[in-house]
Every structure is written in structure tokens, then in C-alpha cells.
């Protein structure tokens, strides 16, 4: 599932490529993705609206439209958005198989489209009033965004205080506590901080807490700069893979030697999800 850096990459791309465009048509061969509306009703409500901009909360994408309407899109496991133009003359990634599972198309004028590729068809699209979108159950339940300026060390300490008995590897993944961090970045953050994912939050010293907090910001910023991690199906709006997989230290490196100490990287389950770590470097 795309995490914060991947979703931020998409949002930044959308603001650069389609902000100001008008929706002139919509096609879908899998309308079940569209929640709380029939396909015809959805089309009627979005055609003619101008795209004001895109934004993100956690792993969720919001595309604000004129007339105080907002499209809420969750990419889920394999979804990704592609911006295509008929004027594109350079060789692109759009012909790659991973980009070929198109189930929804927004027409933007005569020569541009926003297309939704989703091989497993788990994604979700909701249209609602802009002022109501934050009141959706799944959005209201989210904690503070990991890249929010209000997410500071003091706020992080308070989150850990409420989760004393939980392993830090679980806390970082709980979207109701901190929104945006998933399996990839949880492992990379804790390796960078030198903290074992099975350590209970109550066992962390102030110094260790600060290390984890700094690693959250550091790793996510770097991943955003490198346009995310293409672990499986994630692609940016040009259909291109992210580059952060080139610098992964532990995620999916189990059985390989740690780059710092040569100890074999481990893979274990924590709350039914795999976590990757070095037993020597992470205490």
C-alpha cells in the first residue's frame, strides 16, 4: 500500500499537472469503487467542475473541486493515478504492464486525462462536500499526520505515553496515532534510530524517543525527495517507479547482511505484519 511519501509525490504531481483543469468527462468499468453514488450521478456531479488543487492527510488523497466539492481517493493496495496528455512525445512508462489496469478515467479538456490503474480493484473514490470531507469516519479516526508541522517531539512523547505497553513497532503503524507511516518506513525509521521494533514504548528513554522522532522526519523527507518506494505496484503520475527502494537498509532485506555490522537481517511478525531489523544494531 502506498505510504505517506508515495501519496505526497502523487499530490505534488497533481498540483503541478492538473490544477486549474476542468473535468469534461468521466468513464469507469468498475463503478463499485465509487462509494455513496451511482456512476451516472457521480458523473453528473463532477463534469464541468474546475480542479482547485490536491492535498493529503496520511495516505489519503483529496482533490478539491469548484462548487465546494472534494474527491477523496484512497489508493489501497495497488492503485495509482496517471496523468496523460496526447501532446506527450517523449517515451513514457505508460506502456508498462503495471500501468495498464485502467478502470477510471477523468477527461480534462480535449487532450489530457487523469487515469486510475488498479490491478486488484480495492481502491475507493468518494465525492462529498468539501466542508464535510473531514467528517468521514475514516478521516476523523486519523491521528496527526507524520509530516504535519504540529507533529513535534512533545506531541510524539504524548502519543507514546498513551501507548506504554505497546511495542514501538506497532505504535508507528497505528494510523489513529500517527497518520502516514506503513510497513516500509516503520522498518527503515527504527533501523535508522537503532531501536528494536519489539521494545515497549514505556522502555524508551528520552534520548531514544528523540532519536525515533528525528528518524521519522529524516526518513520520510528523504523518501519524498526520492519520489517514494516502488515495492510492488506503486508508480507516480508519469507511470514511473520511485527511487527510495535503492537506499533501503532493512525492508525486505531478510537473510542479507546488515550494511553496518554484517549481522543477518531478520524478518519477524508483529501484529500480523512483517518487520525487518538488525538484532545487533537495534537495541
Give φ, ψ of 43 to 5 degrees.
-60, -45
Alpha helices in the chain (DSSP H): 4-17, 39-46, 137-140, 153-162, 168-171, 183-193, 206-225
256 burial level (CB within 10 Å; 0-12, 13-18, 19+): exposed
* Angstrom distance (rounded) from CA 211 to CA 263: 22
* Cβ 109 vs Cβ 135: under 8 Å: no
277 neighbors 191 (Cβ within 8 angstroms): yes
- Active-site residue 3, yes or no? yes
Whether 273 sits among the annotated catalytic residues: the reply is yes
197 is catalytic: no
**Catalytic residue chosen out of the listed positions 49, 59, 84, 211:** 59
- 2, 5, 167, 197: the catalytic one is 2
Strand 34-35 and strand 23-28: pairing? unpaired
- Active-site position among 3, 6, 115, 188: 3
Catalytic residue numbers? 2-3, 59, 273
Amino acid at each position: 500500500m502506498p505510504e505517506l511519501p508515495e501519496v505526497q509525490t502523487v499530490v505534488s504531481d497533481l498540483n503541478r499537472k492538473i490544477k486549474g483543469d476542468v473535468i469534461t468527462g468521466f468513464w469507469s468499468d468498475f463503478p463499485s469503487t465509487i462509494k455513496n453514488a451511482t456512476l451516472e450521478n457521480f458523473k453528473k456531479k463532477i463534469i464541468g467542475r474546475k480542479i482547485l488543487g490536491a492535498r493529503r492527510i496520511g495516505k489519503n488523497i483529496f482533490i478539491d473541486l469548484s462548487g465546494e466539492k472534494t474527491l477523496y481517493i484512497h489508493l489501497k493496495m495497488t492503485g495509482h493515478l496517471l496523468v496523460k496528455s496526447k501532446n506527450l512525445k517523449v517515451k513514457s512508462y505508460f506502456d508498462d504492464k503495471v500501468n495498464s489496469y485502467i478502470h477510471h478515467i477523468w477527461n480534462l479538456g480535449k487532450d489530457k486525462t487523469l487515469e486510475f490503474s488498479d490491478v486488484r480493484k480495492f481502491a475507493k473514490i468518494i465525492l462529498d462536500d468539501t466542508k464535510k470531507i473531514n467528517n468521514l469516519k475514516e478521516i476523523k479516526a486519523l491521528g496527526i499526520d507524520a509530516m504535519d508541522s504540529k507533529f513535534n517531539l512533545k506531541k510524539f512523547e504524548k502519543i507514546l505515553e498513551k501507548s506504554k505497553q505497546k511495542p514501538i513497532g506497532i505504535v508507528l503503524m497505528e494510523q489513529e496515532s500517527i497518520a502516514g507511516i506503513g510497513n516500509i518506513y516503520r522498518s527503515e525509521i527504527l533501523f535508522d534510530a537503532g531501536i528494536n521494533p519489539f521494545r515497549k514504548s514505556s522502555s524508551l528513554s528520552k534520548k531514544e524517543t528523540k532519536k525515533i522522532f528525528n528518524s521519522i522526519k529524516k526518513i520520510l523527507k528523504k523518501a519524498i525527495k526520492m519520489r517514494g518506494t516502488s515495492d510492488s505496484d506503486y508508480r507516480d503520475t508519469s507511470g514511473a517507479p520511485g527511487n527510495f527502494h535503492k537506499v533501503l537498509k532493512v525492508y525486505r532485506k531478510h537473510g542479507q547482511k546488515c550494511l553496518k555490522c554484517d549481522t543477518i537481517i531478520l524478518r519477524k511478525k508483529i501484529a500480523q505484519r512483517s518487520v525487518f531489523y538488525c538484532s545487533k544494531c537495534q537495541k
